[in-house]
Structure 1
Amino acid sequence: MIEKLYLPDIIGKGYGEFWRFKGRYKVVKGSRASKKSSTQALKVIVEMIQNPHINWLVVRKTERTLRDSCFAQLKWAIRRLKVEPYFKCTTSPLEIIYEPTGQKILFRGLDDPLKVTSITVDVGGLCRLWVEEAYEITSEDAFNRLDESIRGQLPEGMYHQVVLTFNPWSDRHWLKKRFFDEPSPNVLAMTTNYLCNEFLSESDLVLFEEMKKNPRRYAVAGKGEWGVVDGLVYDDWEERAFDWREVTKKPSVRSAFGLDFGFTNDPSALFCGLVDTEAREIYVFDEMYQRGMSNEDIIEKITEMGYSKERIKADSADPKSIAYLRKNGLRNVRGAKKGPDSVRAGISLIRGYKIIIHPRCVKFITEISNYVWDKDKFDNMINKPIDDFNHLMDAMRYALEEFDGRKGVSVLM
């Protein structure tokens, strides 16, 4: 027998309207630690237990990000609700089954459209969709095709619903105009932030207090406000699917890898690119972007990605880590050049190229969409980028120092 729990104690404050709303779209933009994803995960599990007709489709832009995000979050919700005996969680295929009825939570990435459009369920209806990190979906048409997959006849009293959760990095995103600028009774568009999360520890709150020193970042990552993007550092770029194997067939193409170190607050980031020195194009084909990585984790991940033998330029501000990586498997890691003008020179070199980004590089797209020139106290732009959205941007700069932008040729040794 399922143990009786008092849901308000588990969910906490700030999400009453979200929990009760029955319109087509529930859209939640919020800061970090605002409970948006954990609350949605709890809602998914509770709805399945309460209604035998409900099945969920959980989507992110790329399938490979689902296991460590939504899938893990839903397993947490199952444990939090103390209903583990009733759910079966599998990784091959990636799905969760409510065993008393056979209802399912299915997981898909938009990088394989056929898998999204051909979904069927054996029990009940596919009437719920959760799009996590919806900001990553840069094409409104792609969302529309996904939205159309949630349809069909339902029993009386049932309804279809699409839930979108995301961090509001840029006010230029289609999500703002579609759901926040044009009010509709069929849409619940809400903003949440860490202040409604009573489950945060004192150390968590200290991080947000520190974040206030960077007002622009605090406005978005702290208060959940839309980020205002003005003065992009790199504006000659596009998102486009490509086969990296075909790109490497050109004799003018060389690989370029860069590594930026992080740990608690900042991620460790690996840039994986191909540089066409004749066409003046940079192809971004893969990435690593993760917080809390030890040097051992970095070695394991880069090896797992298949890049352990590549020549990687890393942040030379951390020579001890570089030495460790070299000694323990990444023998071709080298420190990048540093100097008083290295950032500006590196940016100038890269701005001479067109940047083509594979859709699966979602973190790179987020950073380059928000990497802007800083401003002085009079709100005038200065010739220096902001110290934010710069982890993959720095890694790209380290990787590209191997190329002579003036001559258009590689200087790889």
Structure 2
Amino acid sequence: MRREIASCSETQSISLKKVIGSGYVDFWRSTKRYIAVKGSRGSKKSCTTSSRFIYLMMKYGDSGLYPNLLVIRRYYNTHRDSTRAQLVWAIERLGARADWKIPKGELTLTYIPTGQQILFRGMDDPQSLTSITVSKGNLCWVWFEEAFQINSEDDFNKVDMSIRGQLPPGLFHQIVLTFNPWSDRHWLKRRFFDSGDPDTLALTTTYRCNEFLSEADKALYEKMKVQNPRRYRIEGDGEWGIAEGLIYENWIESEFDIEKVIENAAGKKTARGLPALVPCNGMDFGYNDPTAFYGAYADRKDYKIYVYYEFYETMMENRKIAARLITDGFGEAVIRADSEDPRTINELRLLGLRGIIGARKGSGSVAGGIQKLQDYQIIVHPKCPKMIEALSNYAWKKDRLSGKVLNEPEHDFSHAPDALRYGCEDLQKFGIQV
């Protein structure tokens, strides 16, 4: 399939199949109100979505219709290195760089021949979503990237209701949602995949439809299929994470201000007169696997743990880890870290994390630490997405022959919960007074 793309200076003939690849025919052609695309990593869903919107904006703009696009993520400040970069990639991939204004100092992208715009917003600023205007044409399309992070259906509905009004013949309103399906409890499943709504196109995509992956890339998925079947279900087959056998059922995702939590706990005491609120910062080391650090506070009177800060990175040198955490205020904080690597702990201490110490661990410490955390309500701030993904999928092992649940957690999705468990090592179990 070939499409002509008009530019300011000439008309280029581009093969979309060669540039974009195959596997998304229904997605590319659909004019339904909603398109929900869940998929594995490497399934081209973001690449294809960005390419489709750039192509459609130019196609309709050059024909005298002027659709505009709104791109939404959970947090506004995450656009630059994700959706904006992806859309710029699509512009260049389609050979249209000269036709787009791509300013360095702002996020808005503008199609020069017509003045159509791509606008970027975050759900962290609801007011910015209620008064969106475009300089030319109509706001027709919305792209929710990483839609799984939109935890409130009511917030989605507010945006949905704002994309209304009469359009010129030939244009259509459409909301596209792309995401990894971390948990089958999310409202996205019920709303778009279980309802049978005729105005919804619901798709599941996998890495198999990405012909641009190398053989080495594909081999990683096959390895995951054997070693980490729970993760492969989501990141390989694009299926919903299943809640069965989860270790932690006692958590919620919720906005909170940690400074207000600290302020409200001032003077609050336990039964023995000790401060109720205590810091519980924990770290799990990795390199090819992620290094996970979490800033948390525990209320030892009301049995609540507030997880408010997340550092979750692969292939990070110790000096960079230390620099990041010091910059973010943890240079003097007590940090309980995985004690399997005392040399790393010592190096991080010399690099400026003066309060880092090894977790005690020992026989039965994993099961005991899990039981302890199960006594608390764990409240996770939305700014900690890797913890949310982990708690949605961290499960007990099953015997492969009998299917019997074992009293041992799977390694997969363990890095974030392990870091939290180390940080909370000194908390008491329910019913033990402190």
Structure 1 length as normaliser, TM-score?
Answer: 0.92
Q: Which residue of 2 aligns with 1:286?
A: 309
On the 8 A contact 2:290/2:315 being kept in 1, the answer is: yes
CA distance in 2, matches of 1:287, 1:394: 13
Q: Structure 2: 5+ residue runs without aligned partners? A: 1-8, 267-275
Q: Which residue of 1 aligns with 2:5?
A: none
Aligned match of 2:328 in 299, 305, 325?
305
CA distance in 2, matches of 1:176, 1:327: 48
CA distance in 2, matches of 1:244, 1:235: 23
**Distance of aligned partners of 1:76 and 1:402 in 2 relative to their CA distance in 1, 3 Å threshold:** farther
Task: Say whether residues 1:337 and 2:346 are aligned partners.
Answer: no
Q: Secondary structure at the match of 1:138?
A: coil
CA distance in 1, matches of 2:133, 2:196: 32
Amino acid of the residue matched to residue 239 of structure 2? E
CA distance in 2, matches of 1:147, 1:223: 29
Q: Deviations over 1:214-267 (max 9, x none)?
A: 222222211112222113322222233222112112242122211223344x33
CA distance in 1, matches of 2:68, 2:433: 54
Instruction: Note the aligned Cα RMSD (angstroms).
Output: 2.1
Task: Say whether residues 1:247 and 2:270 are aligned partners.
Answer: no
Q: Secondary structure at the match of 1:129?
A: strand
CA distance in 2, matches of 1:260, 1:86: 47
Q: Which residue of 2 aligns with 1:231?
A: 245
Aligned match of 2:51 in 42, 50, 67?
42
Amino acid of the residue matched to residue 158 of structure 2? R
On the 8 A contact 1:18/1:26 being kept in 2, the answer is: yes
**What are the residue-to-residue correspondences of 1:101-120 with 2, within 5 Å?**
101-120=114-133
**Distance of aligned partners of 1:184 and 1:353 in 2 relative to their CA distance in 1, 3 Å threshold:** closer
Q: Which residue of 2 aligns with 1:78?
A: 91
On the 8 A contact 2:397/2:405 being kept in 1, the answer is: yes
Aligned match of 1:187 in 192, 195, 200?
200
**Distance of aligned partners of 1:181 and 1:123 in 2 relative to their CA distance in 1, 3 Å threshold:** same
Q: Secondary structure at the match of 2:306?
A: strand
Task: Say whether residues 1:357 and 2:357 are aligned partners.
Answer: no
Q: Which residue of 1 aligns with 2:3?
A: none
On the 8 A contact 1:34/1:196 being kept in 2, the answer is: yes
Count residues with an aligned counterpart.
Answer: 408
CA distance in 1, matches of 2:80, 2:389: 20
Q: Which residue of 1 aligns with 2:149?
A: 136
Q: Secondary structure at the match of 1:29?
A: strand
CA distance in 2, matches of 1:64, 1:292: 23
**Distance of aligned partners of 1:150 and 1:380 in 2 relative to their CA distance in 1, 3 Å threshold:** same
On the 8 A contact 2:149/2:382 being kept in 1, the answer is: no
Q: Which residue of 1 aligns with 2:215?
A: 202
Q: Which residue of 1 aligns with 2:270?
A: none
**Distance of aligned partners of 1:324 and 1:151 in 2 relative to their CA distance in 1, 3 Å threshold:** farther
Q: In percent, how many aligned pairs have the same letter? A: 49
Amino acid of the residue matched to residue 387 of structure 2? F
**What are the residue-to-residue correspondences of 1:149-164 with 2, within 5 Å?**
149-164=162-177
**Distance of aligned partners of 1:211 and 1:58 in 2 relative to their CA distance in 1, 3 Å threshold:** same
Amino acid of the residue matched to residue 374 of structure 1? K
Q: Deviations over 1:143-195 (max 9, x none)?
A: 11121222222211100111011112222222222212232332111111111
Task: Say whether residues 1:95 and 2:118 are aligned partners.
Answer: no
Task: Say whether residues 1:390 and 2:414 are aligned partners.
Answer: yes
Q: Structure 1: 5+ residue runs without aligned partners? A: none
Q: Which residue of 1 aligns with 2:271?
A: none
Aligned match of 2:392 in 343, 355, 369?
369
CA distance in 2, matches of 1:22, 1:235: 39
Shifted more, 302-311 versus 249-258: the winner is 302-311
On the 8 A contact 1:280/1:408 being kept in 2, the answer is: no
CA distance in 1, matches of 2:85, 2:399: 42
Structure 2 length as normaliser, TM-score?
Answer: 0.88
CA distance in 2, matches of 1:119, 1:208: 41
CA distance in 1, matches of 2:317, 2:164: 45
Q: Which residue of 1 aligns with 2:60?
A: 51
Amino acid of the residue matched to residue 366 of structure 1? E
Q: Secondary structure at the match of 2:279?
A: strand
Q: Secondary structure at the match of 2:280?
A: strand
CA distance in 1, matches of 2:322, 2:95: 37
Q: Secondary structure at the match of 1:344?
A: helix
Q: Find the structure with the greater CA-based Rg.
A: 2
